[in-house]
Amino acid sequence: MKKRILITGGAGFIGSHLCDFFIKEGYSVICMDNLITGSKGNIEHLLKHKNFRFVKHDVSKRIEIKGGINYVLHFASPASPIDYLKYPIKTLKVGSLGTHNALGVAKAKKAKFMLASTSEIYGDPLVHPQKESYWGNVNPVGPRGVYDEAKRFAEAITMAYHNAHNVDTRIIRIFNTYGERMRKRDGRAIPNFLDQALKGSPITVYGNGTQTRSFCYVSDLIEGIYKLLKSNINYPVNIGNPREFSIMQLARLIIKLTKSKSKIIHKPLPIDDPKVRRPNITLAKSKLKWKPKIDLKKGLTKTIEHIGEL
């Protein structure tokens, strides 16, 4: 029988790529999304596929799935500052109630469970690069706290279900990811800069641009997700590209690749914006035999080719 997988947040950027991947692998895929930040356009090409089913549902409310399920991938959540600042309560609910409900499905169906966590659980880190044993530096009452603490709670309840109910769990800490299907007004650096550069508008850099990020192309991330899912590692694992760039370096590279005439302008740095962000991927390399393959220039070029999908 076909393996059956539930992907919450399946109409989102990463979720829709996961739907594509598992359909190609021969799985029967149930994509669940309430579409507040996801888009049906991301999965339009799958809607008539015999092994694909879309269910519009808010996972913060009880989830009911008939029949067996082999895997539950919980990827539902607003994930960019522009979204979680717009939907602070919904962000907290999907991280708490939503994770609880998704874990309940996994427990009832005896399914393997994966939580999409985030590098944001490290907050504005005092340790660099960040490894999984670092507990983080998070302001729970700051504007970013609704997302950071939702994910930290989600990790805690996932481990509680593993320890108390013997649910077979995985926790992936996702670092900045980019590629086709990111929204133009996502609020994160790459889609913002690409949108501005292609319009010839000023590119907005917050602060002096010396803050750093590391950028993982989406196909590399999907491979890491699959390898972690198939592993026997129950504790958190960083998946991201350890190559670090300043925001100014990113802005200049995007201007060069798009042949834009845009100028760079500066605006004040948002509250609690991390100064550095880079994964230590020693664990993923040693245990999963995973490392990213696509560098930033190649990944951005591929993203620009599909800019119509942004």
How many Å apart are CA 287 and CA 192, to the nearest integer? 35
Active centre residues (catalytic):
147
Spell out the residues 6+ positions from residue 24 whose beta carbon is closer than 8 angstroms to its own. Answer: none
Q: Which amino acid, one-letter code, is at 161?
A: Y
Cβ atoms within 10 A of the Cβ of 103, count? 24
What's the start-to-end Cα distance of the chain, in Å?
Answer: 36
On the CB side of 75, how many CA atoms lie within 13 Å of its CA? 29
Bridge partners, residue 55, by sequence? 32
Distance CA 116, CA 104 (A): 16
The residue with tokens 């579409």 is 35
Distance CA 274, CA 246 (A): 12
User: Could you tell me the sign of the dihedral formed by the alpha carbons of 167, 230, 294, 19, in that order?
Assistant: negative
* Per-residue H/E/C for 121-148: HHECCCCCCECCCCCCECCCCCCCHHHH
Strand partners, 113: 72, 169
Q: Which two tokens stand for residue 166?
A: 């013997």
